A and B are shown apart, each in its own frame.
Chain A
Amino acid sequence: MSPPLFAHLVTSGLGPIYDGIAHVFVTFEDLIPIVAIGFLAGQNGPRAARTALLVITVTWFAFGAVGWWAAVPASLPFPGIGLFVLLGVLIALGWPLPLPAIAGLAAILGALHGMVNGADIARDARDPVALVGIAATVFVLMTLSSAHVVGLTAPWSRVAVRVAGSWIAAIGMLMLGWALRG
Chain B
Amino acid sequence: MRLRQAALVVLAVVWAGTPLFAHEKDGRALGFIAGLQHPVSGLDHVLAMVAVGLWGAQLGAPAIWLLPVAFPMVMAAGGVLGLIGVPLPGIEIGIAMSAILLGLVVMAEARPPLAVAAALVSMFAVFHGHAHGTELPPGQDGLSYSIGFVIATGCLHAAGIAVGLVHRWPAGRVALRVSGATVALAGVLFLWRAMA
Binding site for B on A (CB under 8 A): 1-2, 4, 10, 22, 25-26, 28-29, 32, 89, 92, 159, 162-163, 165-167, 169-181
Contact yes or no, A174 B16, CB < 8 A: no
Closest B-chain residue to A77, C-beta based? B142
A-B contact pairs, 12 of them (CB 8 A): A1-B139, A1-B141, A4-B143, A26-B25, A169-B76, A170-B75, A170-B150, A173-B77, A174-B79, A175-B142, A177-B82, A181-B85
B119-144 Cβ-contact flags toward A at 8 Å (1 or 0): 00000000000000100000111111
With A25-B16, A92-B73 known to touch, is A174 a contact of B144 (CB < 8 Å)?
A: no
Q: B19 an interface residue at 8 Å Cβ cutoff?
A: yes
Q: How many residues of B contact A (CB 8 A)?
A: 37
CA distance A173 to B140 in the complex (A): 16
Which residues of chain B come closer than 8 Å to A1, judged between CB atoms? 139-142
Contact yes or no, B73 A174, CB < 8 A: no
Contact yes or no, B65 A163, CB < 8 A: yes
Which residues of chain A come closer than 8 Å to B65, judged between CB atoms? 159, 162-163
With A26-B25, A180-B83 known to touch, is A174 a contact of B69 (CB < 8 Å)?
A: no
- Nearest chain A CB to B12 CB, angstrom units: 9
Contact yes or no, A181 B150, CB < 8 A: no
Closest 9 pairs (CB-CB, A-B): A177-B83, A178-B142, A177-B80, A173-B76, A170-B76, A174-B146, A170-B72, A1-B142, A166-B69
Besides the contacts A10-B19, A25-B16, A169-B72, what 6 more A-B pairs have beta carbons closer than 8 Å? Answer: A1-B141, A171-B143, A173-B76, A174-B142, A177-B84, A180-B80
Contact yes or no, B151 A167, CB < 8 A: yes
- Nearest chain B CB to A120 CB, angstrom units: 14
Contact yes or no, B133 A177, CB < 8 A: yes
CA distance A28 to B150 in the complex (A): 14
Q: Which of B20, B69, B151 gathers the greatest number of chain A CB atoms within 10 Å?
A: B69
- Nearest chain B CB to A142 CB, angstrom units: 15
Within 8 A of A (CB), among B6-35: 16, 19-20, 25-26, 28
Within 8 A of A (CB), among B79-98: 79-85
- Nearest chain B CB to A23 CB, angstrom units: 11
Which residues of chain A come closer than 8 Å to B147, judged between CB atoms? 28, 32, 171
With A26-B20, A28-B144, A159-B65 known to touch, is A166 a contact of B83 (CB < 8 Å)?
A: no
Which residues of chain A come closer than 8 Å to B77, judged between CB atoms? 173
Which residues of chain A come closer than 8 Å to B140, judged between CB atoms? 1
CA distance A25 to B25 in the complex (A): 12
Which residues of chain A come closer than 8 Å to B149, judged between CB atoms? 174
Q: B68 an interface residue at 8 Å Cβ cutoff?
A: yes
In the complex, which of the residues A10, A89, A173, A175 contacts B143, with contact meaning CB atoms closer than 8 Å? Answer: A175
Which residues of chain B come closer than 8 Å to A177, judged between CB atoms? 76, 79-84, 133
Q: B160 an interface residue at 8 Å Cβ cutoff?
A: no
CA distance A138 to B154 in the complex (A): 27
- Nearest chain A CB to B136 CB, angstrom units: 8
- Nearest chain B CB to A169 CB, angstrom units: 5
Q: Which of A26, A29, A171 gathers the greatest number of chain B CB atoms within 10 Å?
A: A171
Contact yes or no, A174 B19, CB < 8 A: no
